[in-house]
Amino acid sequence: MTQLGVFTWGVFPYICLVVMIVGTLYRYQDDQLRWTSKSSELLEKKLLTTGSMLFHVGLLFVFAGHVAGLLVPIEFYNALGISSELYHGGAVVLGGLSGLVTLAGISILLYRRIANSRVRMNSDFSDYVSDGLLWLVIFLGLAFTLGYSLVHGPYEYRTTVGPWIRSVLTLQPNTTLMAGVPLLLQVHIALAFTLFGISPFTRLVHMYSIPMGYMTRAPLLYRARYGYGTGHAATTRVPAPPRAQPQQPRPAPVYDDEPATPEPAGRFERPPHEFLDSLDPVAGSGSNSYSRR
Ligand code: HEM
């Protein structure tokens, strides 16, 4: 293995992972108020909804595929009797499908960021870097799964990339495992680590919060300032409703001396204390009396 190979597969992944962990911790304690993927839904909603949905759903499946293909040893599949053909056939169909959905999603999001002037004006450099790098990593992964595998036949990464990534995670990097890996896959993996390394300095930090609450929380409701409820699109400026006129002073209320409905005759024939006295067995004879003295 060349010196570049030793650096790329034995040192570079750790640089990226250390920057990712330390950078994330630093940002968490230093800049928590901006720990978010700040919403641009107000600026453009249609493309965001479609792109974001495709990207995130697709990515969940891509993630599951990476765990199954790289972290689960090939011996496990052999023990279950799953042949290499069956495994790779499934990986091409399921991985290809989820990769295509993810690529469609990130392409829409990237297009929106560049083509929509309102979103563009609210984007910074890190947004283009993270979206662009995501697009490249996903495109190369998909190009490998569909392009390389279909042209050259399935490549058994479960005996090279899989054990290598596990050796990195157990802090015993075995760089020789990566020597014969096709260049397309090598670039995919090196760029994926670069993506991990820059993540603390971009809006990607929101993924470390595992924001699953989004799925169940009540949606944010944005209402147009003008024209809400008139059936006009929010972009059509409808004149604001006339301002309420200052209120005229109210006429002073007129109270009658007489009650509106006369009391029924005889209801208060006796004053209340006399009535209570009549209920009291010792009324008038002792201190228990309610009588007025
Ligand atoms: C440690 C880093 C990574 C390694 C070692 C890795 C490795 C691989 C391998 C071996 C494949 C081929 C799978 C097959 O043909 O069955 C692949 C495909 C793919 N990778 Fe990665 N990858 C990494 C990170 C990423 C990241 C961060 C993303 C996305 C953001 C990604 C997206 C994809 C996609 C879309 C495919 C196409 C097949 C599929 O959908 O699973 N990879 N990757």
Instruction: Name the closest-CA residue to atom 17, ligand 1.
Output: 141
Distance 90 CA to ligand 1 centre (A): 15
Distance 12 CA to ligand 1 centre (A): 18
Query: Does ligand 1 come within 6 angstroms of the Cβ of 165?
Result: yes
- For position 109, what pLDDT does the model report? 97
- For position 253, what pLDDT does the model report? 72
What is the mean pLDDT of each successive set of 10 residues along the chain, which is 293 residues long? Answer: 95 98 92 74 89 97 97 97 95 96 98 95 94 98 92 94 98 97 97 97 86 72 63 60 74 67 62 74 53 46
DSSP-derived letter for residue 58 is H
How far from the centroid of its chain's Cα atoms is residue 214's Cα?
5
**Which positions ≥6 away from 157 have C-beta within 8 Å?**
69, 70, 181, 185
- For position 264, what pLDDT does the model report? 62
- For position 259, what pLDDT does the model report? 58
**Which positions ≥6 away from 196 have C-beta within 8 Å?**
16, 17, 20
Q: Encoding tokens for residue 251?
A: 């006429």
- For position 226, what pLDDT does the model report? 60
DSSP-derived letter for residue 70 is I
Query: Does ligand 1 come within 6 angstroms of the Cβ of 91?
Result: yes
Domain boundaries, the chain: 17-35+50-215
Instruction: Name the closest-CA residue to atom 33, ligand 1.
Output: 141
Query: Does ligand 1 come within 6 angstroms of the Cβ of 144?
Result: yes
What span, in angstroms and rounded, lies between the C-alpha atoms of 255 and 252?
A: 10
CA angle 83, 75, 95 (to 5 degrees): 55
Instruction: Name the closest-CA residue to atom 22, ligand 1.
Output: 189
Identify the CA nearest to 270 among candidates 279, 259, 257, 261: 279
What span, in angstroms and rounded, lies between the C-alpha atoms of 167 and 178?
A: 11
**Residue the block writes with tokens 């697009």:** 135
Quote the pTM value: 0.76
What span, in angstroms and rounded, lies between the C-alpha atoms of 91 and 104?
A: 19
Instruction: Name the closest-CA residue to atom 38, ligand 1.
Output: 95
- For position 261, what pLDDT does the model report? 64
Distance 140 CA to ligand 1 centre (A): 8
Identify the CA nearest to 61 among candidates 142, 157, 1: 142
- For position 251, what pLDDT does the model report? 75
Mention the CATH class of domain 17-35+50-215.
Answer: mainly alpha
Atom of ligand 1 nearest to the CA of 13: 1
Instruction: Name the closest-CA residue to atom 36, ligand 1.
Output: 141
- For position 292, what pLDDT does the model report? 47
Instruction: Name the closest-CA residue to atom 14, ligand 1.
Output: 145
Around Cβ 10, how many Cβ atoms within 10 Å? 18
- For position 286, what pLDDT does the model report? 47
Identify the CA nearest to 134 among candidates 112, 103, 108: 103
- For position 293, what pLDDT does the model report? 43
- For position 291, what pLDDT does the model report? 47
Distance 65 CA to ligand 1 centre (A): 8
What span, in angstroms and rounded, lies between the C-alpha atoms of 15 and 9?
A: 11
Atom of ligand 1 nearest to the CA of 134: 30
- For position 240, what pLDDT does the model report? 67
Q: Encoding tokens for residue 72?
A: 């689960």
What span, in angstroms and rounded, lies between the C-alpha atoms of 66 and 162?
A: 9
Pocket test for ligand 1, best of 71, 107, 145, 184 (most atoms within 8 A of CB): 145
- For position 277, what pLDDT does the model report? 77
